[in-house]
Amino acid sequence: MQPNGKYAYTPLSALGSAKTGHGGVVAEAMRFEPRYKKVHMSGDQLSVNREYLMISDFDQTLSFNDSGMVLSEMLGISDFRKRIADLSDIRLVQQGGELAYLLLHDPEFRCVRKEHLLEVGRRVRLKANIQLLVRMLEDLEGYRLSFYVLSAAPEEVIQSALAGVVAEDRIYGTQFRYAPDTGEIQSIVRVPAGYGKVAVLEELRSRAAVGHDRLVYVGDGISDVHVMLHVNRLDGLTIAVSENKYLTEIAKRTVLGDNALGVLVPILEDIVGYDPMRIRTVFESQGFVLQEWGKVRLDSLTVAASAPRGRHN
């Protein structure tokens, strides 16, 4: 707040490492500063509890790591990114399903057992305040957003990383069938990658009996394109949490920051209908302040010199 009581945005140029989205979308960069004195929100709350589904990707959406990279480092495999790129180039598997393919077919990954995947989850570095985010979503100013994780990462990795934070029955990742005698990965049961995410999302929506416009999807990469296009078509809310140029052109909102609570801002604005002042009050009620909140509209252009007049090819 400025001294005159008006709301002030902080330019992204002043945010150091903060980055912006692409394709003319609005990108937001935020930093949260904990407050030692908890401020309780006053004001009337909505009397009707409105049900939504909020579905989030895992790798680099709720975490800072790619689980495949963490596993590769554990195994001493240095060219993981190249192997993923090679699979992507030949379009052999759906975007996001490359790790599952390597675990089943690559000789250097065949040694992986369930306990290795659980250890990967313990090593993954999570964004701050995921547990608080999940709790706030259960009653967000009279709205209830049931939180699910939907990712192509191995389900064991996600469950281990989010143990005690997100219930296992709300986590949908890649499932494997293991050989009972050796414990090695025998086959793949399900890979929620590409359009596979759409199928799982629709299964969850049907089970929860919510309308198509009561969906919120949060993702970070190209494997989220199909599901974001699907949610947009149904008039749901899509939120990108990275600068991926393919995703930011599709997502309705883009939020950049290292705190999981950042995704609450577009939800409070677009679903609850709060203005910036009331959004700040919500964060203050949980002991936080929005210390920096920069908004920018970015147009990405390539400008080439035209041929001199009177010159013909």
- Looking up residue 207, the CATH number of its domain turns out to be 3.40.50.1000
Q: Could you tell me the pLDDT band of residue 311, with boundaries at 50, 70 and 90?
A: low
Mean pLDDT over residues 182-186, rounded? 96
Closest CA to 255 of 15, 19, 7, 14: 19
Predicted pLDDT at 89: 87
Q: Is pTM beyond 0.85 here?
A: no
pLDDT value at 17 more than 70:
no
pLDDT in the model for residue 88? 85
Give the model's pLDDT for residue 301: 60
Tell me the pLDDT of the chain averaged across its residues.
85
Domains contained in the chain, number? 1
Q: Note the pLDDT of residue 32.
A: 59
Q: How far apart are CA 166 and CA 160, in angstroms?
A: 10
At 52, is the secondary structure helix, strand, or coil? strand
Does 18 reside within a domain?
A: no
The band of 119, judged by pLDDT with boundaries at 50, 70 and 90, is very high
Res 297: pLDDT: 60
At 143 the pLDDT is 95
- The pairs formed by 32-37 with CB atoms below 8 angstroms and a separation of 24 or more are 32/128, 32/129, 32/257, 32/259, 32/261, 32/262, 32/283, 32/288, 32/289, 32/290, 32/291, 33/288, 33/289, 33/291, 34/287, 34/288, 35/284, 35/287, 35/288, 35/289, 36/287, 37/287
**Domain contains 285:** no
Rounded to an integer, the average pLDDT of 124-137 is 97
- Residue percentage of the chain with pLDDT more than 70: 79
Does the residue 89 lie in any domain?
A: yes
Residue 93 belongs to a domain: yes
Can you give the pLDDT at residue 31?
60
Give the residue numbers spanning the domain of 189: 46-273
Beta strand residue intervals within the chain, DSSP E: 26-34, 50-56, 143-154, 171-178, 185-190, 215-219, 237-240, 253-256, 288-297
